[in-house]
Amino acid sequence: MNEAKLIQRARRLEGQALAEIYDAHNEAIYRYALRLLGDESLAEDCVSETFARFLKVLSKGKGPREHLQAYLFRIAHNWITDFYRRPAPETRPIDDELGLAGDDDPARAAFENMQSRRTRAALAALTPDQRAVITLKYLEGWRNAEIAAILDKPIGAIKSLQHRALAALKRILLDEDNEQ
């Protein structure tokens, strides 16, 4: 299988293989991080750190033998989880940063609007695993089995996480609306 060979070459630290892996996955990880973090700079940091950690693992002769994408997303997921665990999350000037360039980008406008921020805040209120399940499933379109590989949990646990996450989101987002 191509991926298996690619991973083998990456484990030998072949530059071409590493570049291929980066090119194949960095965009998806960036999108994933941006959706969860809501900050382009942090998303770039997440990508950098994800691949730096990946390299570090490879340099120790370890690393994945299969499911490369799941492995990389797991690193990114852990980085984001760590970010949310930090005692005093920085208040990023999202408005200023995002408003600097590309004001004519409709995707940016949608990304910035109040409702999107509210939805992201609701996602942030979920547990890390719940957040990953919702993001990967409903925004990235992944299957339960793939998500299970990332989170290293059985598929049944993924379904359960999904159920609880949706219930929590509904409570946070929709019930609030009803109350108002």
Partner 1 sequence: MSNKQKIDPKLEALLDELRDVPVRDPRRAAQGRAQFLSQAVSVRTQTVSRNPLRRLNGWFDKYKQPKEKKGMTTFASIMTVLALLLGGGAGTVYASQESMPNEMLYPVKIASEEFRLNMAGDSVEEFALMLEFAQRRGDEIETMMGAGVEPTAENMLQLAQQTQMAAQLAGTLDGAAQLQAQNMIQNQMQRMLNLQENASEEGAILMEQTRAALQMQFMLAGGAGPGQEQDQGQEQGQEQEPGQGQGQGGPSEEDQGQSQGEPQGQGPADGSGQPETVPGAGNADETGEQFQNQGEDPCAAYYASLAQGASQENGGSNGKKGNSGNSGQGSQGESQGPVVYGLNGEVCVPPTVAP
The binding site for partner 1 (CB under 8 A) comprises: 13, 15-16, 18-19, 22-23, 26-27, 30-31, 34-35, 40, 44-45, 47-49, 51-59, 62, 71, 74-75, 77-79, 81-83, 85-86, 98, 101-102, 105, 107-108, 110-111, 113, 115-116, 119-120, 123, 128, 134, 137-139, 143-144, 159, 162-163, 166, 169-170, 173-174
CB 86 to partner 1: min, Å: 8
Cβ proximity to partner 1, 1 vs 141, nearer residue: 141
Cβ proximity to partner 1, 85 vs 180, nearer residue: 85
CB 99 to partner 1: min, Å: 11
CB 156 to partner 1: min, Å: 12
CB 145 to partner 1: min, Å: 9
Cβ proximity to partner 1, 6 vs 75, nearer residue: 75
DSSP class per residue in the chain:
-HHHHHHHHHHTT-HHHHHHHHHHHHHHHHHHHHHHH--HHHHHHHHHHHHHHHHHHHHTT---SS-HHHHHHHHHHHHHHHHHHSSS-----HHHHHHSS-TT-HHHHHHHSHHHHHHHHHHHHS-HHHHHHHIIIIIS---HHHHHHHHT--HHHHHHHHHHHHHHHIIIIIIHHHH-
